[in-house]
Structure 1
């Protein structure tokens, strides 16, 4: 294994160590239980959410055939939030897995509708797709906010729509392992997603069952987004920034680049979480806010930078 291949895992281990020992409470020998109860779960949640969202972003870009989309800019995250609001109104005492299932179904339907809209857009201007996604997501987010406002659930919507890791504790993040499992499933079908990104006609010519792969991709994206929104809230721009940066450096062969995308996404979310803890110490800035600012700057740079 070359030095370059060791650099990314070493950087992740370094960030994980910094995350474990960064916080308001000073760790003493008698407080080591805090590491297992709070610090390790928070670090694991950041790594899992970042890796899974970056992978979901790659799949979303392949399915939409556009490099400027990801779950938070295509209405997937907003649809998941709308599903959570709906199930909360219907069954307030529903278990977390029930809310997660409702969010997954809503995200699946929302993403499928977005792809149906994209098919009707002209291919001449690639910016039409993300602009449509932003408007579409805004409509879904407004619907969720309206329903929450009518039932006095605005605070709950704010929690689901803003990525926040400060509340992660042992026993409150384990569903994110399901998002990690979905990311691994995406790697198993990486070659098929690469072919699907060439378009339906080319995919059928090469013998790919295009509708089946699209359905599988939708399920993976919806599942990852729903699990993330329910557990830590919506974290924007990870699935947009990371895949584009990796594609510029290493190409678009998912079999080769997907592990790099996952590690870069995990490192980005964890680094932003650490940054949010130290900027206004002892107070915290949500990781979603940090990534919202950073992601917007990088997105504008990508629109104007040369390859």
Structure 2
């Protein structure tokens, strides 16, 4: 299993045991960001305006601001945990749905559903996208098993190349059928269009994230290989298939509702690992909190940089995430030497 570039296991006690009070503090910070998100936007809304009982202000608040903030929280939590699950399965800290072709496969699935079944409701498109995402992730894992890996950096490079091929094919067909603008709405994450009635599917990813937390230890064991997993009494194929389903469904739902948000599932688990070590059970709550807070901060930043215009959150996360990704790559490569 050295070929899968195992994540180095660092003793948690080196970083000190994560105190519940510190986690509560992080959760309180996220809550403050969520409250700030409710009152940042083109429409001028303040707590005092809500207390006056103005029906227009209340409608804007309940129909737009609250759903958007909930969507940001749910997407941030789910994508961060899905990236962590994928890292456990591949035993490599540099993979996540946007670096292994999962997000690109989900986008291809939506395009296929739009071309073949144009009248398909959003739930149908989500299911098609999930099937394509599952196939793309399975293809990535199958490629890994057939390539002699000698360096941790090879794994994300293989995934990025695979995702690039899938994205190129998708873009070609979108161009041929004059759907490039539609394709861009799925490739760049943006919460600006989310209102009540359009974000509710994201509650599905919240349930999937809970399942991922409950099964995190199983994915850790499965990442060590079929023989090792079987010796411990676990069904290797069933565990890996469960991981594929979780990652694919989460990616598909987020891409359908919000659009792709790259690097999130890579950056957050790595930051948590640096802070508290690799204890899976302790890491997942931190990943959920930091993932939600990171996306909230990027979303608020995108709203105020060019106010009253808005920069999509996918762009902000991509810029910050790509810089952190390079730092992690350099750090990992130096550590490998």
TM range (shorter): over 0.9
Tell me how far apart the structure 2 counterparts of residues 117 and 183 of structure 1 sit (CA, whole Å): 26
User: What does 1:78-227 correspond to in 2, within 5 Å?
Assistant: 78-227=104-253
1:13 is the counterpart of 2:39: no
Aligned to 1:3: 21
User: What does 1:293-304 correspond to in 2, within 5 Å?
Assistant: 293-304=319-330
Tell me how far apart the structure 2 counterparts of residues 134 and 145 of structure 1 sit (CA, whole Å): 16
Report how many residues are paired: 307
Tell me how far apart the structure 2 counterparts of residues 264 and 82 of structure 1 sit (CA, whole Å): 29
- 1:2-33 CA distance string (max 9 Å, x none): 42131121011101001000001112342122
Q: TM-score, normalised by structure 2?
A: 0.88
Q: What stretches of structure 2 of length at least 5 have no aligned partner?
A: 1-18
Q: Which has the larger radius of gyration?
A: 2
The alpha-carbon distance between structure 1 residues 2 and 263, as it changes in their structure 2 partners (threshold 3 A), is closer
**Aligned-pair distance for 1:205?**
2.3
Contact 1:65 1:199 in 2 (8 A): no
Aligned to 1:292: 318
Q: The residue matched to 2:266 in structure 1 has which SS? A: helix
1:260 is the counterpart of 2:286: yes
Q: TM-score, normalised by structure 1?
A: 0.97
Tell me how far apart the structure 1 counterparts of residues 317 and 35 of structure 2 sit (CA, whole Å): 21
Tell me how far apart the structure 2 counterparts of residues 277 and 69 of structure 1 sit (CA, whole Å): 29
Q: What stretches of structure 1 of length at least 5 have no aligned partner?
A: none
Contact 1:194 1:253 in 2 (8 A): no
Tell me how far apart the structure 2 counterparts of residues 12 and 128 of structure 1 sit (CA, whole Å): 35
Of 52, 56, 59 in structure 1, the residue corresponding to residue 82 of structure 2 is 56
